[in-house]
Structure 1
Amino acid sequence: MEKENSPAWLNKLEREELEFMRQFVLCSGSLKSMAKRYDVSYPTIRLRVDRLIQKISDVDQGDDRFIELVKNLALDGEMSYETAKKLISTYRQLERR
């Protein structure tokens, strides 16, 4: 697929991320198989998938810097997902006013 015909989210991915996605498909989406293939723990693969999901979501949603910061803090384990969701939800409600 030519770059100009690719979706925006796909163009934002690094070569390593694209290869990770390819391996994920070849492993039939099994995180356990991915952990074996990369010789890392299941939580490590889960974190990598979460970060990839976040990166794709950010492109699709066009999130601003505050929301990106909150999401990254949650992904890095510096705050819970529940807290991040509450902060983002409240922030979006305040933006609508």
Structure 2
Amino acid sequence: MPITYDQLTRKERLSIWLKRNNMDYASIADAIGEKYSTVAHWFIAETIPLCRHRRLEALGIPAELLPPGVNRRRGRKPRSHDGPVLALPPAAADAHILDQ
């Protein structure tokens, strides 16, 4: 049974496109001044920063073959205070505090 284009993953389609256009991670890394490992990570990531997505598109790589470009805040994510609140009944030892 032949494999159709629709059955290929984005990563498989990207790999085919790169081979047909005589490109690899090393040549892309050299062209944009990045490390080979950095470029390899971009291609396997679920999303990449929008500025990197645009840099890769500028090299001629089709946008639909790249991970989606998403702008996210850098650094640690703020802690959420929306979690459950534990409310216990007063302990017998604390009865003197409640009487005041």
TM-score (norm 1): 0.29
Larger of the two Rg values belongs to structure = 2
